[in-house]
Amino acid sequence: MIMPSSSVEKRTADVIIIGGGVMGCGAAYQLSKEGLSVIVLEKGELCAGGSGRNAGGVRQSARDVREIPLAVHAVQNIWPSLGEELGVDVEYVQKGNLRLGRTEAHLEKLRGLVDKNIEAGLCLRMATGAEAREICPYMSEEVIGASWCPTDGYANPFKTAFGYYQRALDHGAVFITGVTVTGLGKVRGKIRRVSTDEGTFEGESVVLAAGYYSRAIAETVGIEIPVEREDEEVFVTERLPPMFDQVLGTAEADFYGHRTKHGSFLLGGVSGLQHFTSNHEGHPTEAYTAPSLVRAIIGFFPAFANVKIIRSWSGHFDTCVDGVPVISAVDEAPGLTIACAFSGHGFGISPAVSIAIKELVMDGKSHTIDVSGLRYDRFTGSAD
Amino acid sequence: MTVIVREKSTDSFAPQAEDDMLVCRCEEVTQGDIRTAVHAGLRTFGEIKRYSRAGMGLCQGQTCQRLVRAVVAAQLKVPAGEIGRVAGRAPVRPVVMKELALSTEESEGVDDYAE
């Protein structure tokens, strides 16, 4: 029901979750399923920040080793059956990820990533240019090698976030959108209060999963999260006959993308200029970006030259200073759990993160999945 | 932005005679699909677009925007203005990739893509 703000009656719950993206919706599902009462507060629409603007990669390869336990847990234990669990088709496809190289320096970089990932227990390898073209025959001869992780894939971020949302509603969670959180407050040394432009909410625990905006909210209780906005764009092609289902990336990060169940391709990336030209708010697309991406894509995949682009959009990553998220309880602020700064690769691990958040809230630590490398207090200045 | 409180719907979905009618022609989304999205808890144009694909096709909602808003507003019994609008996205019309590739004059490799 759409109601005037004065009629927001429910203001206390076991858990207040800040952020209505895939992380907040996932956490709401896990916690409400355990029988806890949950209120989710979102300043805009649901699934409209990073969750509504990303291309949906479900990737383990080329991740920092601190994130790999989350990625592997998600791919091995959750993604294959998530659609069944949520009762929606999350459009999960597991046909592998190719990260392409055009120069010897690229291959050197890819080999470094592969070695680190193998050390962390991931199953992937280097492929020659010919092997890569055998996997995905549409690539040009420019590709001289690639990393190949056959268990990577993609899914639909909207279907996933809304699936979590619907099942959380079924378990009694309440979602309030159009409410902007302005700060956190303690009661007897414990985080309890959430102040908003529509009054105060109170919970036994608070989960902060508001992307980049988590930074300002955490600051109100003296916690600094070194995270910045970084704009990216994605465009979508017309619907095409089946070509290939591998997720693509490049050593240079010229572009990334994959086919969708709908039949269109999602292709994303940056021009390199947007950090200095974008105003961040309102998510404008930049004149430089699509042409720059298109030139890279046609170089790798000449068959795309005659394909039409239907629309494009932009969004921002919540990029952490060290490129991996903060998923952590907070010693100085008992009752607060932070899950933000996913740095552009949060969606693929989101089902695992929802479990880590649930355990951090309920037990104070994540015992199913090791997130010890993602604590909020890991940062030290370069002058140390 | 309007404050919206969302809780589990206790009503079951009630089919209507015109649920088979196409609302978004580009993506073949019916009135029933849109009403299903509303029943599932989606409330704004942006949410319904992401859930149902209405407005994601070639015309980007130029044809169906008013219809989608009307269907949603009727079901929620709120003014259409509270549903929001379809987000404007570039390009206005579909553009072939090689033409976009040409749009920086001094770009390298232009000749490779020119016809």
Distance CA A94, CA A134 (A): 17
Is residue A83 assigned to a domain? no
Low-confidence stretches of chain A (pLDDT < 70) are 1-7, 384
B92 touches chain A (CB under 8 A): no
CATH of the domain at A196: 3.50.50.60
Contact (CB<8Å) B97/A304? yes
Domain B22-86 has CATH 1.10.10: yes
Whether A132 and A248 share a structural domain: yes
Contact (CB<8Å) A2/B1? no
Whether A114 and A206 share a structural domain: no
Give how far Cα A272 sits from Cα of A202, A215, A288, A298, Å.
43, 24, 9, 18
Whether A144 and A184 share a structural domain: no
Question: Under DSSP, is residue A330 helix (H, G, I), strand (E, B) or coil?
Answer: coil
Contact (CB<8Å) B107/A295? yes
Question: Are A269 and A254 in contact, with CB atoms under 8 Å apart?
Answer: yes
Is residue A120 assigned to a domain? yes
Is residue A384 assigned to a domain? no
ipTM for the whole predicted complex goes beyond 0.85: yes
Contact (CB<8Å) B97/A309? yes
What pLDDT does B9 receive? 87
Nearest CB to B40: which of A166, A294, A312?
Answer: A166
Q: Is the pLDDT of residue B115 over 60?
A: no
Whether A307 and A329 share a structural domain: no
Is residue A59 assigned to a domain? no
Nearest CB to A158: which of B5, B9, B51?
Answer: B51
Distance from CA of B17 to the nearest CA of A (A): 24
Distance from CA of B67 to the nearest CA of A (A): 20
Contact (CB<8Å) B4/A52? no
**A4 Cβ neighbours under 8 A, 6+ residues apart:** B3
Residue pairs spanning A and B at CB distance below 8 A: 142
Single out the residue of A2, A100, A158 nearest to residue A301, CA to CA: A100
Whether A177 and A114 share a structural domain: no
Contact (CB<8Å) B97/A172? no
Is residue A77 assigned to a domain? no
Is residue A261 assigned to a domain? yes
Q: Which residues of B touch A52 (CB under 8 A)?
A: 46, 50
Interface test with A, best of B1, B2, B6, B11 (most A CBs within 10 A): B6
Whether A232 and A370 share a structural domain: no
Distance CA A349, CA B24 (A): 33
Contact (CB<8Å) A176/B4? yes
Nearest CB to A179: which of B3, B42, B78?
Answer: B3
Distance from CA of A285 to the nearest CA of B (A): 7
Range of the domain at A201: 12-52+158-226+322-374
Distance from CA of A371 to the nearest CA of B (A): 31
Question: Are A357 and A27 in contact, with CB atoms under 8 Å apart?
Answer: yes
Q: Which residues of A touch B95 (CB under 8 A)?
A: 308-309
Is residue A266 assigned to a domain? yes
Question: Are A52 and A266 in contact, with CB atoms under 8 Å apart?
Answer: no
- Average pLDDT of the residues in B80-105: 87
Reading the block at residue A280, the tokens are: 């961040």
Whether A216 and A327 share a structural domain: yes
Contact (CB<8Å) A8/B3? yes
In degrees and rounded to multiples of 5, residue A178 shows phi and psi of: 85, 20
Whether A177 and A207 share a structural domain: yes
Whether A138 and A276 share a structural domain: yes
Query: Structure pTM?
Result: 0.95
What pLDDT does A382 receive? 76
Residue with tokens 């990334």: A256
- A7 vs B26 pLDDT, higher one: B26
A-chain residue closest to B76, CA distance: A1
Contact (CB<8Å) A178/B90? no
What pLDDT does B105 receive? 54
CATH of the domain at A308: 3.30.9.10
Whether A256 and A280 share a structural domain: yes
Distance CA A201, CA A12 (A): 6
CB atoms closer than 10 angstroms to residue A65 = 14
Contact (CB<8Å) A45/B78? no
Reading the block at residue A77, the tokens are: 């234990």
Is residue A85 assigned to a domain? no
Whether A309 and A175 share a structural domain: no
Contact (CB<8Å) A176/B100? no
Interface test with A, best of B50, B53, B77, B104 (most A CBs within 10 A): B50
Contact (CB<8Å) A178/B94? no
Question: Are B55 and B46 in contact, with CB atoms under 8 Å apart?
Answer: no
Whether A314 and A233 share a structural domain: yes
